[in-house]
Amino acid sequence: MKNLIENTIGKIKQQQLKPAPKWKYLARKYGSWSVFGLIVVLGSLSLSAGYFIIANLDWDLYRFMHQSMLGYSLSIFPYFWAILIAIFLAAAFFDIRKTETGYRFSWLKISLITLGSIILLGLIMSLFGIGGRFNSMMTKGVPYYGKHMMVTRESQWMQPEKGFLAGTINSVSDNEIVISDLNRRNWNVQFSEKTLIRPSVDIKQGGMIKIIGKKLGENKFEASEIRPWIGRGMMDGQQRRFMINGSGMMRNN
């Protein structure tokens, strides 16, 4: 023991080692926890954005695309945000393990703490609409995001060749609606007494709608079902058919 102490003192003198300043210790300590906090915030933002997408997609469209519910759900799931959350969980583990007490925490414990924090803050962000606003920023600022990285409500309903169309109503007549789609292209949408119009749809100029049907030709579309832009338009589980007059008013058929 005496030799060990003497050797240690000798190395300190030989290498001229000095105690690290306290501020460096504090910087490392609080820096690690600051990084952890940033990871939680970014993970929560990812969760809020992913939840917004999941909540706003129409998951029942598999019926119109001749796919299974499972297959269609897997094809539109927001994997991008799920992968980011997994990356943040891994980053949190390595960050906490670098702290002075990090060795005490197992992978499971760190994951549960991090995931719980992300879920709690993510729910708060969702309540304040942060996930929706962030998705809008991503869609407008990063065109590749909405077209290739993620199935959004906009990309889900802008597939006229597959029978899905959405836009803003420009005018309404007895058997036709003229809309401007999400790409500002005008469409003449035909409907009949067989067209299913969900109860909460407001067929009037300026209203936004989603349409299921088939493309008839250039700028022409036939509607078999019309839904409101937000949600599926169900009321008390009822589905009713309506007729539309030229003023855009609806009545039971």
CB crowding 22-43: b at 16 or more within 10 Å, else e: eeeeeeeeeebeebbeebbbbb
Burial 59-72 (b: 16+ CB within 10 A, else e): eebbebeeeeeeeb
Pairing label, strands 196-197, 208-217: unpaired
Neighbours of 164 (CB within 10 A): 21
Instruction: Return the pLDDT at 251.
Output: 45
At 109 the pLDDT is 86
Closest CA to 177 of 149, 145, 202: 202
pLDDT attached to residue 7: 65
Encoded tokens for 18: 């000095």
Q: Which residues pair with 209 in a beta bridge?
A: 167, 228
**What would the 3-class secondary structure string for the chain be?**
CHHHHHHHHHHHHHHCCCCCCHHHHHHHHHHHHHHHHHHHHHHHHHHHHHHHHHHHCCHHHHHHCCCCHHHHHHHHCCHHHHHHHHHHHHHHHHHHHCCCCHHHCCHHHHHHHHHHHHHHHHHHHHHCCHHHHHHHHHHHHCHHHHHHHCCCHHHHHCEHHHCEEEEEEEEECCCEEEEEECCCCEEEEECCCCCEECCCCCCCCCCEEEEEEEEEECCEEEEEEEEECCCCCCECCECCEEEECCCCCEEEC
- According to DSSP, the residues that pair with 42 across neighbouring strands are none
Are β-strands 186-190 and 220-228 bridged in parallel, bridged antiparallel, or unpaired? parallel
The two three-digit tokens of residue 219, written as one number? 């700028």
**pLDDT of the residue at 99:** 76
d(CA 163, CA 225): 10
Q: What is the pTM of this model?
A: 0.74
Domains of the chain: 18-149 (no CATH), 158-252 (2.40.50.320)
Residue 26's pLDDT is what?
A: 61
Q: In angstroms, rounded to a whole number, what is the distance separating the alpha carbons of residues 210 and 225? A: 8
Q: How far apart are CA 56 and CA 149, in angstroms?
A: 17
Could you list the mean pLDDT of each consecutive 10-residue stretch along the chain, which spans 253 residues? 61 60 63 88 95 94 91 93 93 82 79 92 96 88 79 92 96 92 95 89 91 94 94 53 48 46
* pLDDT, position 253: 45
| Furthest CA-CA distance within the chain | 102
